[in-house]
Structure 1
Amino acid sequence: MNLIDKTIKYLGYFTAIVLAVLVLLVVYDAMARYLFSTGSVALQELEWHLFDIVILFAIAYTLREGAHVRVDIFYASFSQKTKLLINTISSLFFILPFSLLIIYIGIDFVSMSFIQNEASSNPGGLEHRFLVKSLMPLSFIFLLLQAIKDTKDDYMKWRAA
C-alpha cells in the first residue's frame, strides 16, 4: 500500500472519529437546549465545523473505496475494460479539473480569511474561521492525489486487460 492509500485510509478513520464526536456533541447540545433551556453559539458553530470536516475529508476516502455516486444501473452491466475507461475519463475530465479549480480558488479564499483574521459574526461564536476554511483546498488536494493514483492504476489495468 503506497503513501497516498495510507494517508487517505487514515483520513477516513479520522473522519469516522470526528463523526462520532459530532453525534455526541449534537446529542449533548439538544439535551442542554430542550431539557435545561441553555445553549451555546460556539457549540453550535463547532457542530458545523465538525460537519465540514466530515464532508470535506470523506470525499477522497469515498473515491478510494469506490463508494462515490455513479449511475450503477448502467455501470454494473459494462465490461471491466469499459468500466476502467469510464473511470479514467471521469477522473481526467471531471475530478482533476474540478479539484484544481477548487484548490486554486480556495487558496485565495483562505488567504483572505487569514489576513482578515475572520471570526464568527455571532456573539459568543468561534474565532479563527480561516482554520475551517483551509479544509476546502486541503480536502481537494487529497481528492486530487487519490484521483491521480486511481487514474494511473485504472490505466495500467486497462492496458493489461
Structure 2
Amino acid sequence: MDGITKYVAYLTAVILALLVILVVFDATSRYLFSEGSTALQELEWHFFDVVILLSIAYTLRNNAHVRVDIFYDRFSEKTKALINILSFVLFVLPLSFLIIYIGIGFVELSYVQHEASSDPGGLKYRWIVKSLMPLAFMLLALQAFKELLSDIKRWREL
C-alpha cells in the first residue's frame, strides 16, 4: 500500500505543478491582456480538488495528519499506538466507508445526468472530478488499514 500511496503522491505533485502554471497563466492573461476563461478557472478548481483528495492517504502514511499533538506527544508509545488503533477503527475507517458508499451514488448520478458546469464556457464531464472523492477515500481506507495493522503489531510488542 505504501508504494501505491507514494506513486499517487508523485501524480499529485505533478498536478500541483500544473496547477501553479495554470494559475500563473490565467492570472497573467486576465490582468495583462484582459482575457479570461471560465474553463481555465474551473480547471484550476478541479486540479485543486485532485491535489487535496489524492493527498489524504499520503498525509496519513507520513503521520502528518491533524491531531492534538500537545497531548499526543506526552503519551507513551503504547498509548500512542492504542490511540491510533481506536482512531482508525472508530473514525477513519467508518467515515471512509461511508464516503465511499455515498460517493459512488453521487458520481453515478452526475454521470447519468451528464452534469456539466452551469457557466457558459465551463467544463463538461463533472463526474470525472467527482469520482475522485470515493477513490480518495478508498486509498485512505487502504492506507488506514495498513497503518492499523502496523499499530496493532507495535502495541503488542510494547
3-state DSSP of counterpart to 2:27: helix
Identity of aligned residues (%): 63
The one-letter code of the counterpart of 2:17 is A
Of 118, 121, 125, the match for 2:115:
118
**1:39 match:** 36
Structure 2 letter corresponding to 1:57: L
Distance 2:12 2:86 in 1: 28
1:137 is aligned to: 134
CA distance in 1 between counterparts of 2:82 and 2:13 reads: 31
Q: Which consecutive unaligned segments of at least 5 residues does structure 1 have?
A: none
Residue in 1 that maps onto 2:153 = 156
Is 1:49 the equivalent of 2:43? no
Q: How many residues align?
A: 158
Query: Does the residue aligned with 1:147 lie in a helix, a strand or coil?
Result: helix
How far apart, in 2, do the equivalents of 1:51 and 1:118 lie? 19
How much is the aligned-residue C-alpha RMSD, in angstroms? 0.5
Deviation at 1:117, TM superposition (A): 1.0
Shift of 1:14: 1.0
> C-alpha offsets along residues 83-140 of structure 1, whole Å, 9 cap, x if unaligned?
0000010010000010000000001000000101111111111110000000000000
SS in 2 for 1:10: helix
1:64-97: per-residue Cα shift (whole Å, max 9, x none)? 0000001111111111100000001001000001
Q: 2 CA distance for matches of 1:151 and 1:41?
A: 43
Q: Structure 1-normalised TM-score? A: 0.97
Query: 3-state SS of the aligned residue for 1:25?
Result: helix
Unaligned runs of 5+ in 2: none
In structure 1, the partner of 2:70 is: 73
What secondary structure does 1:70 align onto? coil
- CA drift of 1:16 comes to 1.1
Letter in 1 for 2:92: I
For residues 15-34 of structure 1, the aligned pairs below 5 Å read 15-34=12-31
User: Which piece of structure 1 moves more, 11-20 or 48-57?
Assistant: 11-20
Superposed, 1:92-107 pairs within 5 Å as 92-107=89-104
Aligned partners of 2:6 and 2:89: how far apart in 1?
22
Q: 2-side partners of 1:79 and 1:13: how far apart?
A: 34
Deviation at 1:12, TM superposition (A): 1.0
Give the distance between the partners of 2:116 and 2:70, measured in 1 at CA.
Answer: 45
